[in-house]
Amino acid sequence: MSVGLLGLGAYLPERIMTNAEWAEYVDTSDEWITSRTGIHRRRVAAADQNTADLAVAAAEQAIADSGLTVADIDEIIVATDTPEVYIPDTASFVQTRLGAREVPAYDLGGSGCAGFVLGLDIARSRALANDRRVLVIGVELLTRLMNWQDRNTCVLFGDAAGAAVVGAGPGMAEILAANAGTDGTRSDILGLEVGGTRMPFTEERARQGLHKEIVMHGREVFREAVRRMTAASMDVLEQAGVGIEDVALVVPHQANQRILDAVGDRLGVPPEKVFVNVHEYGNTGSASVPVALWEARAQGRIQPGDLVLLTAFGAGFHWAALLVRF
């Protein structure tokens, strides 16, 4: 039995925030952000929009794109590090807001930018084992939970949601191979320390702004991101018995133009085969791969028969890759 992506969807908040606007908040410049990251602008959710709002908008589009209705959805996975609330998970709100049946619905939290691709891998096995149609959503409101005074992190991120329905049959894109992994020895170089049992949220910590302080050792994260996304990609190619020259488009996690260039170089693919939209949306965490895949298809960059390689990396460290044939 084959399993495939049946439909895709995305939602991008209307408000566009440019690099020049960031320079009004922190000591930065359009020149610095553009040259170090390739990011020109990002989207920022409206004050009355929360995680589930973005998730539901992307999910409804993915379900419609699949030619299904919400009644056909048998399971819901929401990959997010910026949940609606801590308890219950965002998937509970999404299940109700979509009007889905009382199906299993759960979050993949804390897996950073790799969450959505990891979710596709899980959905694939759930669909295989139980003949289910699984809705997978990657959603982040990173601008809401970050420190707007920390120039090392705030200029990098944006808000967005992307979704896919995974189910039996080749659908629009058959899943040929998947890879996912974790290296917890590096858990200290990317994360949010305050808010859990180790360092509970207190008034004093909130006053210091620590509840929004993202710890990030940029250069080390950069190196690991390149290494892991490349290795995961090579693994799925090997599993499927195809070469990189057979791949029509690589859709990597959009964190930084220089990371995308380095992954392309290491894989040996020309720049035109690496999909890039980081200049438009910044790093949207677990939403980045589904939004990029959705946009690549909308722009006609993917044709029937094309092999497309998805690869992602995030806090944990976690990584994941998926090879699909459209």
Known catalytic residues? 113, 253, 283
Work out which of 40, 144, 151, 186 binds ligand UT7, going by CB under 6 A. Answer: 151
Q: Check binding of 113 to ligand UT7 (CB under 6 A).
A: yes
Q: Can you tell me the distance from the alpha carbon of 61 to that of 63, in angstroms, rounded to the nearest whole number?
A: 5
Mask 278-297, x = binds ligand UT7 (CB under 6 A)? -----x--------------
Residues in 13-42 that interact with ligand UT7 by CB under 6 A:
28, 32-33, 36-37
Shortest Cβ distance from residue 173 to ligand UT7 (Å)?
Answer: 24
Q: Check binding of 49 to ligand UT7 (CB under 6 A).
A: no
Q: Strands 134-141 and 75-80: what pairing?
A: parallel
State the alpha helices, DSSP H only, in 67-114.
Answer: 90-98
Write out the DSSP string of 185-233. GGTTSEEE-TTSSSS---HHHHHTTGGG-EEE-HHHHHHHHHHHHHHHH
Shortest Cβ distance from residue 58 to ligand UT7 (Å)?
Answer: 19
Q: Can you tell me the distance from the alpha carbon of 252 to that of 233, in angstroms, rounded to the nearest whole number?
A: 10
Burial class (CB in 10 A: 0-12, 13-18, 19+), 178: buried
Q: Can you tell me the distance from the alpha carbon of 293 to that of 162, in angstroms, rounded to the nearest whole number?
A: 9
Considering the complex, state which of residue 94 and residue 232 has its C-beta at the smaller distance from ligand UT7: 232
Q: Can you tell me the distance from the alpha carbon of 72 to that of 54, in angstroms, rounded to the nearest whole number?
A: 21
Phi, psi for 238 (deg, rounded to 5): -65, -45
Work out which of 173, 255, 269, 309 binds ligand UT7, going by CB under 6 A. Answer: 255
Q: Which stretch in 102-110, 141-149, 215-223, 262-270 sits in contact with ligand UT7 by CB under 6 A?
A: 215-223
Shortest Cβ distance from residue 97 to ligand UT7 (Å)?
Answer: 27
Shortest Cβ distance from residue 25 to ligand UT7 (Å)?
Answer: 10
> Which residues are near ligand UT7 by CB under 6 A?
28, 32-33, 36-37, 113, 151-152, 155, 216, 218-219, 221-222, 225, 255-256, 283, 314
